[in-house]
Structure 1
Amino acid sequence: MKFGVKGAGPIHFRDEIRRALIFYTVIPVAVVVLAFFAFFIFYAHSSIMEVNQESNRLVCGELERMVDSYGSELIRMWDADSTERLQGNPSRLRQLQTEAIRFIDSMHSQADFYILNSRFEVCVSTAEQRPGFMPPDAGLNWGIVRKMRSRPGEAVFEFTSESTKRENQKALVVGAQLGAASGERYYLFFMVPARYLVDTTCNRPVQVVVTNRYHDVCTSNTNSFTMEFGAAKPEIRQKRAFLSLNDEWYYQYETDILGGEINVYTFTPVKNAMTLFAVDISIFLLVILLIGNISVFGATRVARSKTAVIDQIIRAFEKVKEGNLNTPLNIGAEDELSVIGDSYNLMLESLKEQIERNNQVVRETVYSEIRQLESQFNPHFLFNTLETIKFTVKLEPDIASRMIVALSAILRYSINSQITDVTLEEDLSYIESYLTIQKYRFEDSLFTDIQVDKRALDCIVPKLIFQPVIENAIKYGIGETEVLTIRICVTVADCLLIRVQDDGDGMSREKLEELRNLMKEENRTGKAHFGLYNINRRIKLMYGAQYGVDIDSRQGQGTSVSMRLPVRHKGEKKHDQGSDCGG
């Protein structure tokens, strides 16, 4: 079977099916595989970055915590003591030693505490030997002492060599000078092994290098980035996200802390991840290639087998197009195409029956729309009422109780979906409960006057016919005047005439024309004046186009809404709705 278009060669439907099957099989699989592949890359990259940066933050946080905490403790000691109080006072020195040990325990870290006099003799120590970070010829030009002398009253820090516990390692020394520039001075130190800072905060497969501003390595859990004499390799200072070094690739992250004095580098090896990434690419490509070959082979077979049946279906539809409804379709295949044949035969047999059912469908559609329009209950009224009850229940419980009873009656009436037509008396009873709540809400600002012809009380009206009109009058009238009066008048003549008038501000002629035009729309989705549109639409659907809602208003003189309905008493059958009535 083939189709043709002007100016083009024949198009074989078999080829179209084959191409479609291939396209809708291979392409989605390829997209899914690529999406999974992209997700894998994103997840792996995010995981590497997250673990690396979290390790960096932990090391930075621990370094800053150590320097700040030990420095603050030294300043506290500096503020509490004077050189005169310490000089020749062994008990006070031992007391400082006890306080330092207690503070070190509270920090949950390994540290030693020393107090040196101006001759650099150890006065107090929590260790059994001379400080490992202190050179044998320590003097006033010793690095950290020079810092303390230049900044008296402040805590300073420095990474320096420490050889008492582990050879060729560094220590973080935090110190402060106690005493004036002249006279006896004391030097207070806390010493923390630098390697401890890394080992206790970074237990993940992340390599950490801490350097000072001169790019000397202060501490590290790897030797891969350290040159001879303890300097950091220049490659790590190039501020690149990925670094190639020693036949390995690393993800690198750097943070400057403590006023730029310290640089913290964290490195995550990614060579294995990149190798796994390449293997995954190869596997995914093989999967796509395999699926593609299988799809081409299968699509060709399916297209060949289904084309014959489709030819038969097309010939049958061409006969129907010519007006022949007595051509059954016989498909021997036991697959989805047989459903088309069965449906085709059923269509021919039920065509007349379907035409007859159309009228019933139209009636059901109208009824469904009426039920939908009836369900448009304004939630704002419910929320506002509940808020009013919430505050009234404490101040005026009796009023709150009456409001709850009225609200209960409203909800019980409005949510009863089994009743669509009610008597005017029933709907007036509902609206009295509604007005009871509104009067409590607006107190002395709302008044009503209801006058009803007794012959109209048992007339059948659409359910909830009053509420949208009164709700609209309150919404647009209560804010414009200090006092709003709503008058309801119901009369019976050739038709049932219901008028709802208010003495609010009314509306201009232009606004009135715009509102009347909105009421004529067949399908309205906007929210403005939807209640009036709802009532008008329901009346016309239920009783005919000659009935409905009419609006009249003048600026400064209020608004009048008239609703015309047929006169139908309870228990009577529906009258002829072809007559009209005047207002």
Structure 2
Amino acid sequence: MPQTTSLKEKVRKAFMRYTLIPLLIVAVAVSAFFYFNSSQILIRQTEEAGQALAADLSEMHESYAQFIEETAQSAIVIDYLDFMQGESSLFQAFYEFNTQQIIQSDFFLFDKNESLVLSNAIDVDQLAPDLADYFLTSKRLLDRQESPVINRVNQIPYHNGRLSSYLYGAQIVDENEEKGYVFYLLHEEDFLTLLFQHPVNLSVITDPYDTIIATSNNSVRDFLNKYRPDVEEGMNVQIRDNDFVQAKEQIPGSALSVYTLNPVQQYSSTLAIITGFFLVLSLFIFIVLRVLSSKLSDKLTESINNMTESINQFKIGSNDYYLKSSDEEEMNVLAGQFNDMLDEIKQLIREKEELSKRQRESEIKHLELQFNPHFVFNVLESIRYSILIEPKNAEKSILALSKLLRYSVQKSDQEVLLVDELNQLQHYIDLHQLRFEDSLHYVVEVDPMLQLHQHVILLPRLLIQPLVENAIKHADPKGEALQIHVQMRLKQNQLLCTVIDNGKTCTFEKVDLLTKELQDENSSEIGLGLYNVHRRIQLLFPDNKGLDVAVNNGGLRVSFEMPLILTHERSVG
């Protein structure tokens, strides 16, 4: 037989399957989107940071390039170099410009003899030799190039530990006559401040030769102060075994390049967080779906479960388990048809029980009627012989017979009192004793409790007499007087009746044959009286085995049990 699954389980699994599959597809799609989008976001963030930083540096470069060119052509500067007058005007112009810059500087003014004549940072007589050499080298670069302005990378201390990372310089010429030089040293600390203002993990500013002007992380510097990644493949670089996404921007009109870098680990961490979030969310959704699927399957299969329960109850004999109405139209139709079918079956059962009861009563009536002709026939035969031989005994026999017939006419009920049945049995045995005289002895032994309540105890009539009649007819005491012992006992709310004779010819084989004949409805081998009693007991008391026969020292013992019935029970019923 193929393995079956409950409808409830099928509904639950179907709900889980058709709900989880789309959710899994969405989860995979969203995860893939985040995977690729996170990479693009990291690249875009790196590029945007580089563009913003480059825009700030481009604005700085244009401001300084324009201002230093204006300074080199300023009449105030030329007059100061010629006459050493207007110092305050120079300082004011410089301060107004410098305070507006994102990267501030210090200015240094030299005359044509390469002597420092004015500076906002140091006194003219405190110029350090290293700084003087640096300015001299810068002046020679200006002399060699056609452009009146230079920008040059440097990292040099010049005042109280202050470092400069970049220099702007210009030659001062008036009417083709060299007047001097002006230089602006940009503060390295302002470069660093600018770098840290942008949301990027690492940034580097270099010249065309990859010399680092400023960086937010000194670990990128090599021993020559160069920026040279270990591995560089497109936007992916590796520095000291760390992987980065890199964006590069060139500052227009200058020698500056800007590199912005974000670690790939940041992208991996973001992806791990997103993945973890989706795993937790998926687990939560799975648990919620399991709960919802169970509730949904319970709801959808409630009516079917009720119908299944009704069928199971009907199988074990319960006919009162009706289906309740449902809010589903189809189930209401099925429930109505099932309840109608149940009513029809109950009606058929009632009709069958009624028919069976009437058939049983008819059969019992038929069996009861068979006793009287059979008994009367035997008694009349005895009286016929007694009239010829012993007329007085015949007279007694006729009187006894009249009492028995009167009992049969008056007691037409199916059940009689125990006292009446015992009296009738007494008349019956007396009738036979008048015939057999000393050849027949009998004892009727009644339990004291039964004797005390014999006026309220009921039993089917003519159950005991056929058993006594069978003993008189078939028992063979082998020349001895026939002895019949009738016992009426109480056994656990059961009435036990036993009839024993002292025959000598009964064997186990005969008892086995008699037992088989009692069970065969079509048998004609046994006496009509025994079978009638046996069958009546079975019909009157369902599940009762009927007569029990056994050997008793060569004689036969016949007994039966029946429930103890009291008159008040029948009245209540």
TM-score range, shorter chain: 0.3 to 0.5
**Greater per-residue helix proportion:** 2
| Higher CA-based Rg | 2
**Please, what TM-score do these two structures have when normalized by structure 2?**
0.46
